[in-house]
Structure 1
């Protein structure tokens, strides 16, 4: 029997309720909203998850839609409004979206979607172009003390973890955080182009987004916001700056799905994180596995929102 005929037959049985969950899951195609432009961390996470869902045989196919802007708020609004009740729809999200909601106060929030699972965790790496006069974060700080606006920071949307880290750094060295010259980008591809083109002084994001340029000698890493070195990159703290902040990514489902559908979708995602394809993605991108699902994930997001808000207030961003 041809594969397409086989899948159609499975779908027919599933619609009639004659198949167990595992078989139904295999027959279903899935849709993944990536609320950012191509090339960034959310895009890489979404496409890696899509491949893992298929590798784990819990999705027959996965389609992707990129909708960048406003720290994911534009994609979130489209996802909430267009996917109501769809048990096969997922949206990538993470700490950046929480920061964007705090600063932007969009009309559509995460409370209108359905929490599924946290997937990964990583820290921000700050880089400069290879020909930059800045050799360390101390050099950057010295220039900021002379003229805060002369240092252009590039990264994700306003409220992203790299934006917060820059504000935390300013505050830690006695500079007015509101004077940080931060340039937000709608996706990792735009940020990379700006760094390579010398349009920003310092760029920030996850290591995975910069790795190929660091390896090729086109970018030079000068700090990481982790508690310990990453790939030999010195931490902010060891350079004398009390800045430590992590980033994480996860997925939400559409509003209006039933508890049973939420449970089934969560099981599919968890199974995907145990696939060979996902394991390879973790290793390739330097992501730390941080799977957390169900009510625990929902509680985690609430705690993170409160914590992030407090950090942003302290850093002078709110």
Structure 2
């Protein structure tokens, strides 16, 4: 895709950089962020909040449009990027631990991590388990006790496919609680966290497994009650009242990083331009406010460090999934 130099960015580059011929390629006009889910979920939040902040900080030359490509817990979008967006330097794709989980379990058709370029993680969204406000379960312990008595007695909804990271949070917790028949636990997958929560509030499901950012609006409205957050310790500020799973005797930690990958086949210069600008975004006061408002905690990796992290996480999740019989 043809690129041009952007005068403001060029003016700020050191003279030696200009003379060396290593000026970074940047988008010419509007850019796109692909959210691999329907509007309202975590990936949609990632795209829209980053797009808004990039524009506020004048880090992109024009607007950024969010494109929703739902299906197969990110698999449809991954296949689309691999087949249709190779070398597209104007596109970023929202990703998270759910993405690496599906890659680890070989759930993306002929998909693997080295077919795209991993750009950055811009925060961590910790996992939660929640119930409707009128649920009979007041604590995580009560809910898991019910599963221990009868693994099929509690149904869960999540914005991820069966065997995905949302599902794994429940399975890991149940295993820690002594539930033996993990395959009997009911999990219903939906295309986004918001849809999964709507099913819960409609009385069709007993509990929701997902991430704090997905549930926050429903908690603030009083419709949803959080039983546990899967963090090392209680979250700061307004989230400090949420008990951790660990303090309830369930030693499970489940951070869900939120960030981006780029299409394979893009130039090193374009890749580095996106990495640098996402680094700048992460360091800004504007992004710190977005994180605070949406329950994201500091977590940042980019460039080669991000690629190494993704590869290691895929290896770790594959080993866990293999133990639970979830790897294809």
Distance 1:271 1:242, change over 3 A: closer
RMSD of aligned alpha carbons: 2.1
Distance 1:275 1:178, change over 3 A: same
Structure 2 residue aligned with 1:243, among 224, 237, 252?
252
* Number of residue equivalences: 305
The answer for the alignment partner of 1:302 in structure 2 is 311
Structure 1 residue aligned with 2:171, among 156, 161, 167?
167
Give the TM-score taking structure 1 as reference length. Answer: 0.89
The answer for the alignment partner of 2:20 in structure 1 is none
The answer for the alignment partner of 1:66 in structure 2 is 68
Which sections of structure 2, spanning at least 5 residues, go unmatched? Answer: 12-24
Higher helix share goes to which structure?
A: 1
Structure 1 residue aligned with 2:211, among 195, 198, 206?
206
Please say which of residues 17-26 and 190-199 is displaced more in the overlay. Answer: 17-26
Distance 1:54 1:18, change over 3 A: closer
The answer for the alignment partner of 1:75 in structure 2 is 77
Which sections of structure 1, spanning at least 5 residues, go unmatched? Answer: 1-11
The answer for the alignment partner of 2:14 in structure 1 is none
Tell whether the 8 Å contact from 1:21 to 1:264 is kept in structure 2 after alignment. Answer: no
- In 1, the alpha carbon distance for the partners of 2:325 and 2:127 equals 20
- Trace 1:1-318 onto structure 2 (pairs within 5 A): 15=4, 17=5, 19=7, 21=9, 25=26, 27-59=28-60, 60-103=62-105, 104-158=107-161, 159-172=163-176, 173-230=178-235, 231=239, 232-318=241-327
Please say which of residues 195-204 and 211-220 is displaced more in the overlay. Answer: 211-220
Tell whether the 8 Å contact from 2:30 to 2:63 is kept in structure 1 after alignment. Answer: yes
- In 1, the alpha carbon distance for the partners of 2:10 and 2:78 equals 29
Please say which of residues 115-124 and 138-147 is displaced more in the overlay. Answer: 138-147
Kindly state the Cα deviation for residue 20 of structure 1 after the two structures are TM-superposed: 6.3
The answer for the alignment partner of 2:15 in structure 1 is none
- In 2, the alpha carbon distance for the partners of 1:262 and 1:248 equals 20
- In 2, the alpha carbon distance for the partners of 1:289 and 1:169 equals 24
Tell whether the 8 Å contact from 1:67 to 1:75 is kept in structure 2 after alignment. Answer: yes
